[in-house]
Structure 1
Amino acid sequence: MKNRTTVERKSARELIVTRTFDAPARLVFEAWTKPELLKQWWAPKSMGISLLSCDADVRAGGRYRFELGQEGSKRMVFFGRYVEVIPHSRLVWTNDESDEGAVTKVT
């Protein structure tokens, strides 16, 4: 099976993007929750960007903060909190992006 992505618009404010990976759930979960693995894939390397900083307290109520960019340049910061963590099964988090901006919930 190939990795597959589907997109469904539920409403003006809700979009469902589903990605199916040809990998065991344990490995996919670890790729999303272990900083050393996130650094390998999370940033768009084709644009010369890397994940420069990755702090993640992966537990319900825990917070994360990712900084992307190039050394010596302005960084893009993503942060939020983990809402639900069920190892190898479910990961729900918020993506805040700025102190004044809207919050996105990712499941």
Structure 2
Amino acid sequence: MRIIIRTPEFDEYYNSLQQKVQEKFDYVMHVIISQYVVSEKFVKKLQTTRLYEMRVSVGNNEYRTLLFAVDNVNFVQSRRVIFLNSFLKKDTRQYRKEIIKAEEILNRYII
């Protein structure tokens, strides 16, 4: 079982979502908490970073939450994860900005 640590940035985004989208987020978070191995449909490693992304699809919208495995470099073996920030995926160029933002948030927690 995993523990999810939610940053204020994540909570602010989550609270701004419509209830239907929040319910899908809740479902994926439950999968992360309760399953040892999580499908890449829900969590995927971001190449060239130490971050992972939680993937939530609702209709045609793709939501991403950048997260960090606290106690292990491998998400599967991690028991604690930090949800750093979330966004509605528009294109791949957006990722660089969101990764920088997530790294800044993470630095506040690990320093």
Q: Normalised by the size of structure 2, how large is the TM-score?
A: 0.33
Structure whose alpha-carbon radius of gyration is higher: 1
- Which structure is higher in strand share? 1
Q: Normalised by the size of structure 1, how large is the TM-score?
A: 0.34
Higher relative contact order (CA 8 A, sep 6+): 2
